Structure 1
Amino acid sequence: MFVRLFRWLRRHPRLVDLLWALPILGTSLSVIGTYTHPNIMYQRPVAWYAYLAIVSAMCVPMIWRRRWPRAVFAFISCVAFVQWAFNAQVGPADLNLFVMLYTVAAECAFLWSIAAAAIVELGAVLAVWRWWVDQDAGQKWSTLIPFTIFAGAMWVWGLYVSTRRKYTAELEERAKRLERERDAHMQVAAAGERARIAREMHDVIAHSVSVMVVQADGASYMVDIDPARARRAMETIGATGRQALTEMRRMLGVLREGDDAGPYAPQPGIEQLTELVGQIRTAGLPVDLTVEGVPSELPTALQLTVYRIVQEALTNTRKHAGPAATAEVNLYYGDDAVEIRIRDDGRGAAAPDDGRGHGLVGMSERAALYGGSVRTGPRPGGGYEVSARLPVTEPRAETSAA
């Protein structure tokens, strides 16, 4: 309950200031008789309307003390000076001068707070030396010191509140900045994930569509000559399309939340290279696969990289090498790296390039993730070659952990 009341009061600061000004105004009016009749000391009485004007001038502007702290402090200081100039009695409303000193210290810059403290201290000195004229210098100082201590306490309190507010504002700004940085990191991570999925989609679609186009062309050519071969080509098209859909569903599944479609097929690896080469042969490109060295257990992600590099290279060979080209894939297991070499005897440097493909870039990016490299280019005797080297010793632990 008190917390909600405090929050409500913080949302209505002018009402809080009004609640402060009203008791001071009421207290000043309740003792009006004391200040409008002769009394002790050297202060002279004032008329009731003059006293009422002084009290009102000191209390009413307090409603806007937070909105215009310097203007309200200057106005009340001028009223206090007029009160001192006419030798009018000091009353409860003069307490607002110290309140405004606190407000200036809390709401304004440090130099403004020093100026306000100097003005209040000057007013205290003038008041003591005028209204305590019958006292000696020592008694005047003993009278001035409490005023100075009280004014200094209000000034320090205002500085503390100002420092606390700035510290809180800095913490809030830091929290917002960290939140923005977190969102930025999430966006970068999402962009990286989208780029990875885009590479995967490119590899799947480019390979599968190329196979389906070649088989469709062959089926349309053989449908009247050899219906059996045309039927086998159509079956290959269907199998390739289903495989492409399966891989696309698996990759797009990471973008769904709460998907109950069940587990997807595992990622392809080195063991699936034989099936890949078989598909390429069925599509009309003679391919030979040779494996050298002692096969070792490789991380799944690294096997996927090997598979995608071979798939992309053979897809490019089928698209650009020409109708009479042949290809060979060599996989070598070394002590510290796996080397892949894909060669063909097609057009090589004379092959057309529309500049729209992302396969070579995707292969380089995949290899770079494991500290490897990819070299591509035409062969001196004709044809094209893709050579990749993927370290497996040091990155293996990091890859498994990932």
Structure 2
Amino acid sequence: MRAHPMVGDSLVAALLLLADLLLLVLDATTPHPTIKPWYVTVPLDVAVVVPVAFRRKYPLSSAYAIAVVGIAHSSLQLGISSLAAAAIALYTLVVYVGRRMALYYLLVQLAVMAVQFALDWGDNNWLTLVLIGLTFAFSWLLGEFVGARRAYHNEVEARLHLLETERDQASRIAVAEERGRIARELHDVVAHAVSVIVVQADGASYAVRSNPDLAERAVQTISRTGREALTELRRLLAVLRDDTTGHPRIPQPDADSLVELTERVEQAGVRVRLTVDGTLTGLPAGVSLGLYRIVQESLTNTLKHAGPGARADVRIHREGDLIEVDVVDDGAGKANALVMVERELPGGNGVIGMRERANVYGGSLDVGPEPGGGWHVHAALPVGDEL
């Protein structure tokens, strides 16, 4: 009915027509019929109910078509369709068009009925007037109620659409801010690499004749550092920008700082077990920084959402040119559903930041609740030289 409103309106029109035809049949069985012959009654019955089927598509046209045909239908007293169709038309105008047009239509109907009653006044006309007044009043009130509900639902849908737009904008802003922060950090890494190259090149130029072995080691250092710097520049692409904040540059942490990080988190009340399978030495500076930040953000979320008393297990596994990081906490005994609700609250920019860090290096990030409670963060970062 809601998907195809015209089907429902056609059904209502058919029921009204059936009611009038039933009155015609019953009247024909009496000794003294009062209703006009069928070749007059049936066309008027059909004409007065057909606009009901189109009331939502053409509300004004349907309403006044009912009013025009209803004059003849009600004057000949052919049934209840003219009054019922007029009431439905009034309700439709209140809901879909507006109070002003509905009021004009109501005044037209009342004027027509006043003329009809003035030309043919009877003893039972007062009862008919009360019935007509109650019918129109009910139609108007029902239209006001349904119209208010439609307006409320439209307002709710508009607000939901606005909230979705704001949420998308907030996500984009968070991604942009995190990319800017990553760009500044990697800018420091690249600047450090270039500084090393310059220093090593100067040293090699002085030692190339007096100490060839030292010069050769310097050149090897330049080659390794330069390739790492070029790899970082390639990863940056369009997100690289200058740091114009004016803040002094601070050396960034790396994978070697994970032990210190876990100790700080333990001091805050979360018991952390760090397991490293493989060596983390020789990692590109950006990858090492990204690894550190992902673990840091995961443990920060554990401390924030699970609270003191929780346990976290940090497992780092390096195999060839791939590093896999798993950070699992027990949620401090909280139920799985509660953990999910807490960590999906608006403003989850930490997960966005971790995912952006992984994407910068061609890696991936998966986060989600554990079956028995708690939270699981899994990240995979490629380490291989891209050149």
Structure 1 position 209, deviation (Å): 2.1
CA distances 1:52-101 after superposition (whole Å, capped 9, x unpaired): 111111122222111001100010100112335xx312413222111111
Q: What secondary structure does 1:98 align onto? A: helix
Match of 2:129 in 1: 144
Pair 1:18 & 2:10 matched = yes
Match of 1:89 in 2: 77
Match of 2:22 in 1: 30
Pair 1:202 & 2:240 matched = no
Tell me: higher relative CO, structure 1 or 2? Use CA pairs within 8 A at least 6 residues apart.
2
Q: What secondary structure does 1:58 align onto? A: helix
After superposition, residues 258-337 of structure 1 pair within 5 angstroms as 261-262=323-324
* Counterparts of 2:109 and 2:168, CA distance in 1: 50
Pair 1:233 & 2:233 matched = no
| Aligned 8 A contact 2:189 2:285 in 1 | yes
Q: What secondary structure does 1:67 align onto? A: coil
One-letter code aligned to 2:185: E
Match of 1:249 in 2: 287
CA distances 1:246-285 after superposition (whole Å, capped 9, x unpaired): 3311444569999972469xxxxxxxxxxxxxxxxxxxxx
| Aligned 8 A contact 1:124 1:148 in 2 | no
When residues 251 and 71 of structure 1 are mapped into structure 2, their CA distance, relative to the original with a 3 A threshold, is farther
* Unmatched runs of 5 consecutive residues or more in structure 2: 229-253, 255-281, 299-315, 318-322, 327-387
Match of 1:51 in 2: 41
| Aligned 8 A contact 2:55 2:89 in 1 | yes
Q: What secondary structure does 2:2 align onto? A: helix
Structure 1 position 10, deviation (Å): 0.7
Q: What secondary structure does 2:179 align onto? A: helix
Match of 2:62 in 1: 72
Q: What secondary structure does 1:31 align onto? A: helix
| Aligned 8 A contact 1:124 1:147 in 2 | no
One-letter code aligned to 1:20: V
* Unmatched runs of 5 consecutive residues or more in structure 1: 1-8, 265-402
Structure 1 position 46, deviation (Å): 2.7
When residues 31 and 252 of structure 1 are mapped into structure 2, their CA distance, relative to the original with a 3 A threshold, is same
Tell me the C-alpha RMSD between the 2 structures: 3.4
Match of 2:89 in 1: 100
When residues 45 and 262 of structure 1 are mapped into structure 2, their CA distance, relative to the original with a 3 A threshold, is closer
| Aligned 8 A contact 2:20 2:78 in 1 | no
When residues 213 and 245 of structure 1 are mapped into structure 2, their CA distance, relative to the original with a 3 A threshold, is farther
Aligned mate of 1:187, from 172, 197, 221 = 172
When residues 39 and 205 of structure 1 are mapped into structure 2, their CA distance, relative to the original with a 3 A threshold, is farther
The percentage of aligned residue pairs carrying the same residue is 31
| Aligned 8 A contact 1:120 1:151 in 2 | no
| Aligned 8 A contact 1:121 1:151 in 2 | no
* Counterparts of 1:120 and 1:251, CA distance in 2: 79
Q: What secondary structure does 1:10 align onto? A: coil
Aligned mate of 1:178, from 155, 158, 163 = 163
One-letter code aligned to 1:107: Y
* Counterparts of 1:134 and 1:141, CA distance in 2: 8
When residues 20 and 153 of structure 1 are mapped into structure 2, their CA distance, relative to the original with a 3 A threshold, is same
* Counterparts of 1:80 and 1:35, CA distance in 2: 20
* Counterparts of 1:119 and 1:250, CA distance in 2: 81
| Aligned 8 A contact 1:129 1:140 in 2 | no
